[in-house]
Amino acid sequence: MLRSAGIVLKNQEKREHTPAVVLIMATAAMPLFFRLPIWIALWCLLLWGYTALAHYKHWPWPNRVVRTGLTVTGCVLALHFLERSFVGGRTFLGLLCIMAGLKPLENACHRDRMMTLLLVYFTFISSLFVIENLLITLYMFFAVFITTAGLIHFNHSRMPAAHGLRLSAIILAQAIPFMIILFVFFPRSEGTFFSASRSGQGSTGFSDSLAPGSVSTLVKSNSIAFRAEFKGDIPAAENLYWRGLVLWDFDGRTWRKGRHYLNTLYRFSGRNRVDYDIFLEPHRKRYLLAIGLEQALAIPETGNPQSRALAAHWRAQFDSEESIIKQAIAYFQANPFQYTLNPPLLSSNPVDAFLFETRKGYCEHYASAFAFLMRAAGIPARIVVGYLGGERNPYGNYLIVRQYQAHAWTEVFVAAKGWVRVDPTSAVAPERVSTGVAESLIADELPQFLQRGKFAGLRLYWEKTKYFWDSINLRWNAWFMEFSRYEQLGLRMRLGRIARSHLNQIVFAGAALIAVAASLVLFRSRRGRAILRQDPVVAGYYLLCKKMERAGVKREAFQGPRDFVFRKVKRFKPAKARPGD
Amino acid sequence: MPENRKSISAVSQVRKSGKIRIRPTRYGWIFLVVVFSMLAGSINYNNNLGFLFTFLLASMGFVSLIHSFRNFSDLRIESVQTWPVFEGQTAMFQIHLGKISASHIGIRFRLAGSETAEADLNPKGRNRRTLSIPAYKRGVIKPSVLVVDSTYPFGIVRFSAEYDVSSVCFVYPKPVPVHQLTPQDLIQAHAKEEKLYAEPDDFKGLKSYQQGDPIQHIFWKAYSRGQGLMIKEFSASETPSLLFSWYKIKEDTTEKKLSLMCAMILKAHGLNLKYGLKLPGRIIEPGMNERHKHKCLEALALF
């Protein structure tokens, strides 16, 4: 009896494809592990491991009570150990991973598996929002390939697994042109639908105030603040002052923004204009760094009497502002000031204590004291916090600026020239300006990553690799990630279309889509279709029919195998005995 | 099991009613929701990777539609064949498909009242699929609609087509166990009072066997001698003909009467007697071949 059609029940209650489900979920969730604490990864791996082993070794499968308990436990752990902000924060990602670990256990029927797959897509896009480089883009295609192969296989389990992989690859390849067209032509907008806090995972960078210790704590961080790509030559080290925030208000100890801070992107107009692009790492603040220029004199009425006296003395002695400034700088140079990350704590009059007693501090101390002196002497001054310096990447014409290069300096207002930068640190530790942080501090104080360790040669090689990878990512970022409305308009213009109106754009995109779709429909490849395994008996029978037909005995359409064989084949007398029949 | 696959069957052509319908499945709706929420998220955060991923998924969904269409179109159903069954058995409907040029995967067939059979169709294979409907009640089974659908490849969109099927499966009443009937019972049901059959030893002679002659009367000796199949003829001028009468049956309910009559027909047929039916409102003259048997049984089924 030849095989009859497989009769299948609808929505069969059958737990199958467990290993495939685990594999697919792991593929999608894995990128998130790099952005979350390690216990999340462990949670997932343990659960997936148990799921896989339960399948292969027939261990007991957790029932609904156990699964619910695990879910609650996982959620509680996530909410407790991750930070508080919900939307876009690490808590959300953590919860997603917790669910990802548990979901493969829910595998009782086809519906469960389909829901798991659809959630897999959703999980994966979350990781795309927190990791943005070339590697994850390529990984994305791989993950979609695997997940879609699973989707096909779960829906058609009778076919071999290779069929799912093959079809997935074909559909993926056919979908890519559409994807590109949509990506290029889909209208982008500037605004947002709803303002949620950005899910940036970068470090905080600066706060909005400067107090003793603000900058020195940043020296502990090696993470990248931003990259700046230069079209021409990179300026000399002493000119690499990156302005971030301007602080105006001083209360005796801390400098703050005050009311005068303007939140716009400045067009700089310095003397020597330099063209560059800034690639900013995500942070939660609303400012943009730029080399540039800007616009006070307020100091508290009491406090720091010695410094006030010193300033008044200079004011009386000298006429021009430049002289006073020079005098102040000379003061720093003449006296035994030290540049250090760990100065003694300052008492109630911090400026006095710093200038006359301890004489040890980091850039924020010097800047703060200097600005105070200037203001006390009647010269408008303000604090600028930002970064100083940058690492040149040999593979690309850009600088990498890291958090540990954070710096604070001052600007004073000189009548003829306007706001002029004066960096008191350069008076005390000129190596900081000309070379970098590592050269300006004692080796003991340097953080781990700045110290020269052993394996210098290997380290060099590793550094080079990192630079190379970083330069690739920068190109990727510039080319792909920054493709925004602005670039879209530019592209359209470059394509020679005056496609300002949406109608043109829609028509073009629609036409392109139809063209690709038509090509798919018309391109009927028979070989491309899946090849089903045929019952060998059936295959043998058809071979017989074919051979008989060649010999002149044709099977009629209404003749079944028995009929054909008994009537025609058995009575067949071969005309000639041909060898090989 | 239907008695004999070679016996009477009803084959009917099918006609397609309506066009191919395309609808998203429940997972298709969820897929759309997922894609749209991804799109919203990408627009909101202005994330190019998010856009890329969303468009990739959307494109794959779109491309899968084309695959789905190519998998489903070019399917032709030519006819549906069925065989009569007895009450309590399972009616089988065999669907004959037309020649296809490429593989079709995941095609599902369903008749009104039957289970869903899923099949992968091979251009080289014999393309017939069988669906079963349990026959609980005597009468006719008329699944007027055959639904063919598929959700290949992703299970997110369903292509379906409906066919009008005019095949009718007769469900004969369940016969009382035949071995319990004796020839006397048969005679008792006979409408007229008369002597019925001659003794079996009125042997007349031999004649060569023709298809349709009672197999019980084959003269095997001649065959074993190599003289071919021969039949013993009896002198009884005519085979006795019975006319089973409804009014003569001593049972209380209709169904029991019909069951008994069914058993009698089967017995008579097995004994190679001529038989007919007398039902209120209908008389079927005695006859004695397969065709006649089915005619009588159908009359019982439709009663």
Q: CB pairs below 8 Å between A and B: how many?
A: 171
Q: Which helix (H) or strand (E) holds A179?
A: helix A161-185
Which residues numbered 211-250 in B keep a CB inside 8 Å of some CB on A? none
Nearest to B49 among A128, A182, A196 (CB): A128
Nearest CA in chain B to A118: B31
Q: Cα-flanking dihedrals φ and ψ of residue A250, to 5°?
A: -120, 135
> Would you call B102 an interface residue with chain A, using a CB distance cutoff of 8 Å?
yes
* Residue of B25, B34, B55, B158 to mutate when probing chain A, most A C-beta within 10 A: B55
Chain B residues whose CB is inside 8 A of the A6 CB are: 117-119
Could A175 and B102 be called an inter-chain contact, meaning their C-beta atoms sit closer than 8 Å?
no
pLDDT at B59: 94
Q: Which helix (H) or strand (E) holds A209?
A: strand A209-210
pLDDT at A358: 87
* Residue of A179, A193, A484, A526 to mutate when probing chain B, most B C-beta within 10 A: A179
DSSP string, B153-174: TTSSEEEEEEEEE---EEEEPP
Token output for B98: 């037309």
Chain A residues whose CB is inside 8 A of the B47 CB are: 128-129, 132
Could B62 and A517 be called an inter-chain contact, meaning their C-beta atoms sit closer than 8 Å?
yes
Q: Which contacts qualify for A161-167: CB closer than 8 Å, 24 or more apart?
A: A161/A20, A163/A530, A166/A530, A167/A530, A167/B67, A167/B153
Q: What is the sign, positive or negative, of the torsion defined by CA atoms of A232, A237, A239, A245?
A: positive
Nearest CA in chain B to A135: B49
pLDDT at A239: 77
Quick one: which of A8, A23, A44, A13 has its CA closest to A117?
Answer: A23
Rg, Å, chain A Cα set? 36
* Residues A154-172 pLDDT 10s: 998 888 888 899 999 999 9
- Using 50 as the pLDDT threshold, list the residues of chain A that sit under it: 1-12, 85-88, 191-204, 260-273, 282-295, 498-499, 525-531, 576-578, 580-581
**Residues in CB range of A520: below 8 A, 6 or more apart:** A174, B63, B66
Chain B residues whose CB is inside 8 A of the A482 CB are: 48
Token output for A423: 């960096």
CA distance B51 to B58: 10
CA distance B113 to B118: 16
Provide the b/e sequence for B7-28 (b: ≥16 CB within 10 Å). ebbeeeebeeeeeeeeeeeebb
Token output for B172: 């004969």
Q: Which contacts qualify for A72-77: CB closer than 8 Å, 24 or more apart?
A: A74/A43, A74/A98, A74/A99, A74/A101, A74/A102, A77/A39, A77/A43
The pTM assigned to this predicted structure is 0.66
Which residues numbered 8-67 in B keep a CB inside 8 Å of some CB on A? 27, 30-31, 34, 37-38, 40-41, 43-60, 62-64, 66-67
> Would you call B98 an interface residue with chain A, using a CB distance cutoff of 8 Å?
no
C-alpha dist (Å) from residue A405 to A98, A214, A240, A366, A428: 37, 13, 11, 16, 17
pLDDT at A531: 47
Nearest to A155 among B69, B109, B154 (CB): B154
> What dihedral angle (degrees, nearest 10) is formed by the CA atoms of A423, A424, A428, A434?
0
Could you give the ipTM of this predicted complex?
Answer: 0.75
> Would you call B106 an interface residue with chain A, using a CB distance cutoff of 8 Å?
yes
- Using 50 as the pLDDT threshold, list the residues of chain B that sit under it: 1-5, 198
Q: Which residue has the tokens 């020649």?
A: B99
Quick one: which of A220, A515, A518, A208 has its CA closest to A383?
Answer: A208
* Residues B69-112 pLDDT 10s: 888 888 888 888 888 888 888 888 888 888 888 888 888 988 88
SS3 percent helix, strand, coil of chain B, rounded to 5, is 30, 35, 35
Chain A residues whose CB is inside 8 A of the B114 CB are: none
Q: How far is A86 from chain B (nearest CA, A)?
A: 15
CB B262 within 8 A of CB B175: yes
* Residues A317-338 pLDDT 10s: 888 888 888 888 998 888 888 8
